[in-house]
Amino acid sequence: MRNICVYQEFLTELHKAQIRETAERLGFAPHFFALDRFEEAKTCLQNCEVLYAHSPDLLRAAPVSLKWYCCSYAGVDPYCKDPSLFANPDCLLTNSNCYGVTIAEHVVMVLLMLLRRMPEYEAVVRNRGWSSQLPIRSIRDNEFTILGTGDIGSNVAERLRLLGAAKITGLSRSGQAREGFDEALPISRLDETLPQTRNLIMALPSTPETRHILNRARIALLPPGAYVVNVGRGTAIQQEPLAEALNAGRLGGAALDVTEPEPLPPDHPLWGARNILITPHVSGNMTLGYTCDRNVELFCRDLENYAAGRPLNGLVDRARGY
């Protein structure tokens, strides 16, 4: 039998049975370890060709014979940035496209909070005050630009369309058309897109190309009152000019589930910026049944591909970074 090391906390007994059934049918033996059994997992890993985990430390301890590291997270920048984590330079790396639905629900929530001016209403109500109606905006009949058209961007686009959005533009490296977007553009056309973007949603991986892609100059290209939502990686935004644009009232508000660094230090200028909604990197929450089910399902599907020598669905280009 070929061995698989599974080092995960979220698995139910049903998930384990599903993995075991798939693995054994394909000639693999899975070995399960909860996160408090790091040393045992490390020992077992020495005889494994597959690792299903999210642990740079465990990966670093893997032998050169490890052939596939299935990362259960979506963001794999820690692994792409540091090739020394892989003893085997040809080790396959996959990430998980299981977070689109829950992150899309987060985006719908924070977009509505910004459009409906919840930061201002909440400030009034916190002091047990009352307020008359402030001018709000709606998802219906509104226009959205989504940076990143992968699992997350596509799930966001789908929900905005269902809620009556008038136009959804998607930008990606290739600019390839994707279902659910009214318009698909290459990211090279970002500068000409921003002046028409009243609602910007960022769902980009962290790569050298996406670092500070929303920089001071591009923040200045957004129209007055624009809203910015980031659920990708904190590195995508130059944070000081964002805080300045919010405080100057140039932007309408921002919702950041990711920052640089995380946690954000207590004296960081983003704290207390005007109309900002910060959440502590929780949009891709792993506590939902359907997210966990899909994580396992995607692993099992790619195990079938791996066993058959077919390309893996979740394959990451380690040089490209996603």
Stretch that binds its own copies, among 63-71, 176-184, 221-229, 258-266 (CB under 8 A): 258-266
Please state the closest distance from residue 129 (CB atom) to its own copies, in A. Answer: 8
Contacts of 150 (CB under 8 A, 6+ apart): 97, 100, 172, 203, 322
Q: Is 275 in the site for its own copies (CB under 8 A)?
A: no
C-alpha to C-alpha distance for 169 and 171, rounded to whole angstroms: 7
Nearest to residue 255, comparing CAs of 238, 241, 242? Answer: 242
Beta bridge partners, 31, equal: 5
Q: How far is the CB of 273 from its own copies (least distance, A)?
A: 12
Q: Which of 27, 84, 90, 133 binds its own copies (CB under 8 A)?
A: 133
**Which among 179, 167, 159 has a CA at the least distance from the CA of 231?**
159
Instruction: Tell me: cis bond preceding 263? Omega within 30 of 0 counts.
Output: yes
Catalytic annotation on 233?
Answer: yes
Query: d(Cα 37, Cα 53) in Å, to the nearest integer?
Result: 13
CB of 95 to its own copies, least distance (A): 18
**Gyration radius from the chain CA atoms:** 21
Report the alpha-carbon distance of residue 157 to residue 177 in Å, rounded.
13
Q: Which stretch in 80-88, 105-113, 145-153, 243-251 sits in contact with its own copies by CB under 8 A?
A: 105-113
Residues in contact with 191: Cβ distance below 8 Å, sequence separation at least 6, in sequence order: 218, 221
Q: Provide the 8-state DSSP code for 234.
A: G
Q: Could you tell me how many residues of this chain bind its own copies (CB under 8 A)?
A: 47
Per CB under 8 A, does 138 bind its own copies?
yes
Question: Which residue stretch of 85-93, 129-137, 244-252, 302-310 sits at the interface with its own copies (rule: CB under 8 A)?
Answer: 129-137
* Closer residue to its own copies, CB minimum distance, 34 or 288: 288
Determine which residue in the list 84, 89, 287, 311 makes contact with its own copies, applying CB under 8 A: 287
Sign of torsion, CA 80 85 87 92?
Answer: negative
Q: Interacting stretch for its own copies, rule CB under 8 A, among 92-100, 114-122, 186-194, 214-222? A: 114-122
Q: How many CA atoms lie within 13 A of 305 on its CB side?
A: 16
Instruction: Identify the active-site residue in 117, 137, 159, 233.
Output: 233
Residue number, 263 or 309, with CB nearest to its own copies: 263
Instruction: Tell me the two tokens of residue 193.
Output: 């897109």
Would residue 281 show up in a list of annotated catalytic residues for this protein? Answer: yes
- Is the Cβ–Cβ distance between 91 and 71 less than 8 Å? no
Which residue, 64 or 282, is less far from its own copies as judged by CB?
A: 282
Known catalytic residues are 233, 281
> What residue ranges bind its own copies (CB under 8 A)?
101-102, 105-106, 108-109, 112-113, 116, 118, 121-122, 124-125, 128-141, 159, 162-164, 262-264, 266, 271, 278-280, 282, 285-290
